[in-house]
């Protein structure tokens, strides 16, 4: 057995030491230790919530301890952070319980620091009503208030001088579950009835505040699948039709492929590709659950031409690997990335886009998307592509976005979705190939 707090601590410690995504560590712990569903949910809340508020938590703890958090041993650091998150951000856990649990955990994981942990947490309880963060709109204050690393804040301030405050606020909101109806077997009204999810202005897309997806009624029956609302809007803008051939080059975990197949109502074919057999098998498993007989998954490198696919696609989906800055509200570990780590991504993205273009038949469509707000990966890539490929033109999607209540920025007919709770920061370029 392992407690929710210990599981959360172990995930944070491994993230600290190796950069391992906490959700990956938690899944491993769930497989190897017996944990009730409620305990699993609490461990995820403690771990991911702590990571989401890491910078303000460290700011307050450093003022109480008088030392940098990086100077503390990883187990002590993790226990203090999780306990501070409970005391400052959660209301359902009593203060004395949060302090006691932190001290007990210290006794098991770092006995020498038990007294230190006890003293810091009791000080936090006494001082918490007086704790404040810096005010103002300078980069340091914004970084602390939104718990987003300084390098990313600087990037957004430079690239979006007028909109960066709005973007930071949107990226600092909680993300609900986004369900999309499998039109092959169900309809929005039935999925709403089964799950309690609320419809959105994006047809077929419903929202839930949270929960364990696989435990929802209708999941095993294939009534719905998970795909972000921004992604759903992008695929709907590309308008896959029954009888067409759709090629998805970077398909895993499969949401866009399933969405296209669902909209096509079983007619035509969707060819879903990804780089590793493990990812391809995940797509196949979901395809079987959903009963989508017109989806075929296989392994392929999106940068390498497959002659058999040349000019075969009526619609080619190109959701490229990216820095994922638009998903900070879903993936808290992305909040602390350094833009220097993804400076080479545009080269890879352009290589994938060039290859994808060869699969589009004359008169077909090419959809380029990312879940980042980094303009070098977005319009920078598309602009370079269009200069090389005059046979492609951009089809505007802003009018459809307005119909669905999706706000964003148009740039030479390409579109950037502004992030908010149920919308990722997302870039869309829908390209038509001339006949």
Percent of the chain with pLDDT over 90: 89
Q: Is a pLDDT exceeding 90 seen at residue 35?
A: no
The pLDDT of residue 293 is: 93
The arithmetic mean of pLDDT across residues 227-256, rounded, is: 97
pLDDT of 226 reads: 94
Across 58-80, average pLDDT: 95
pLDDT at 1 over 80: no
| pLDDT above 70 as % of the chain | 100
Judged against a pLDDT cut of 80, whether residue 422 lies above it is answered with yes
**Predicted pLDDT of residue 191:** 96
pLDDT of residue 173: 82
Which pLDDT belongs to residue 261? 96
Query: pLDDT tens digits for 342-363?
Result: 999 999 999 999 999 999 999 9
Is it the case that residue 398 has pLDDT exceeding 90?
yes
Confidence at 54, pLDDT banded by 50, 70, 90: very high
∠ CA 326-334-133, nearest 5°, is 95
Nearest partner of 419 among 208, 136, 228, 141, judged by Cα:
228
pLDDT band at 174, cuts 50/70/90? confident
Among candidates 427, 429, 428, 408, which has minimal Cα distance to 418? 408
Q: What pLDDT is attached to residue 266?
A: 85
What pLDDT score does 356 carry? 98
Q: Is pTM, for the whole model, over 0.85?
A: yes
- Position 37 scores a pLDDT of 85
Confidence at residue 264, expressed as pLDDT on a 0 to 100 scale = 93
Give the pLDDT mean for 189-205: 96
Asked whether the predicted pLDDT for residue 190 surpasses 90, the reply is yes
Region 217-221: mean pLDDT is 95
Give residue 146's pLDDT band: very low, low, confident or very high (50, 70, 90).
Answer: very high
Phi, psi of 376 (to 5 degrees): -65, -30
Complete domains list, the chain, with CATH: 4-130 (1.10.940.10), 139-171 (no CATH), 226-433 (3.40.50.150)
Residues 258-303: pLDDT tens digits?
A: 999 999 988 999 999 999 999 999 999 999 999 999 999 999 999 9
In the predicted model, is pLDDT for residue 433 greater than 90?
yes
pLDDT band for position 38 (50/70/90)?
A: confident
Q: What is the mean pLDDT of residues 219-234?
A: 96
């Amino acid at each position: 057995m392992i407690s929710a707090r210990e599981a959360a601590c172990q995930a944070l410690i491994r993230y600290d030491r190796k950069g391992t995504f906490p959700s990956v560590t938690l899944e491993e712990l769930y497989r190897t230790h017996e944990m009730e569903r409620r305990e699993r949910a609490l461990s995820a809340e403690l771990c991911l919530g702590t990571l989401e508020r890491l910078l303000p938590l460290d700011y307050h703890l450093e003022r109480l301890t008088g030392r940098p958090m990086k100077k503390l041993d990883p187990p002590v650091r993790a226990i203090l952070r999780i306990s501070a998150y409970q005391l400052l951000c959660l209301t359902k856990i009593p203060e004395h319980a949060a302090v006691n649990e932190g001290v007990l955990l210290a006794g098991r994981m770092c006995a020498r620091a038990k007294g230190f942990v006890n003293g810091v947490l009791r000080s936090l309880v006494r001082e918490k009503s007086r704790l404040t963060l810096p005010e103002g709109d300078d980069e340091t204050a914004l970084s602390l208030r939104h718990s987003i690393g300084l390098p990313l804040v600087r990037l957004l301030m430079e690239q979006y001088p007028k909109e960066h405050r709005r973007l930071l606020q949107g990226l600092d909101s909680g993300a609900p579950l986004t369900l999309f109806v499998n039109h092959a077997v169900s309809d929005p009204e039935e999925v709403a009835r089964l799950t309690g999810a609320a419809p959105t202005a994006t047809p077929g897309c419903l929202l839930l505040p949270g929960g364990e997806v696989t435990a929802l009624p209708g999941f095993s029956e294939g009534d719905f699948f998970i795909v972000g609302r921004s992604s759903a809007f992008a695929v709907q803008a590309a308008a896959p039709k029954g009888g067409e051939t759709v090629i998805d080059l970077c398909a895993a975990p499969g949401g866009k492929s399933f969405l296209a197949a669902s909209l096509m109502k079983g007619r035509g074919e969707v060819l879903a590709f990804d780089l590793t057999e493990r990812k391809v098998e995940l797509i196949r498993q979901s395809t079987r659950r959903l009963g989508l007989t017109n989806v075929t998954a296989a392994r392929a490198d999106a940068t390498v031409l497959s002659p058999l696919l040349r000019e075969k696609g009526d619609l080619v989906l190109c959701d490229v690997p990216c820095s994922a800055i638009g998903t900070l509200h879903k993936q808290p570990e992305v909040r602390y990335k350094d833009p220097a780590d993804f400076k080479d991504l545009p080269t890879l993205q352009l290589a994938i886009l060039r290859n994808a273009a060869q699969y589009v038949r004359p008169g077909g469509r090419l959809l380029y998307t990312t879940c980042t707000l980094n303009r070098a990966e977005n319009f920078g890539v598309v602009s370079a592509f269009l200069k090389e490929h005059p046979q492609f033109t951009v089809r505007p999607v802003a009018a459809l976005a307005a119909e669905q209540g999706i706000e964003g920025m148009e740039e030479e007919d390409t579109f950037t979705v502004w992030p908010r709770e149920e919308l990722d920061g997302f870039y869309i370029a829908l390209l038509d190939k001339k006949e």
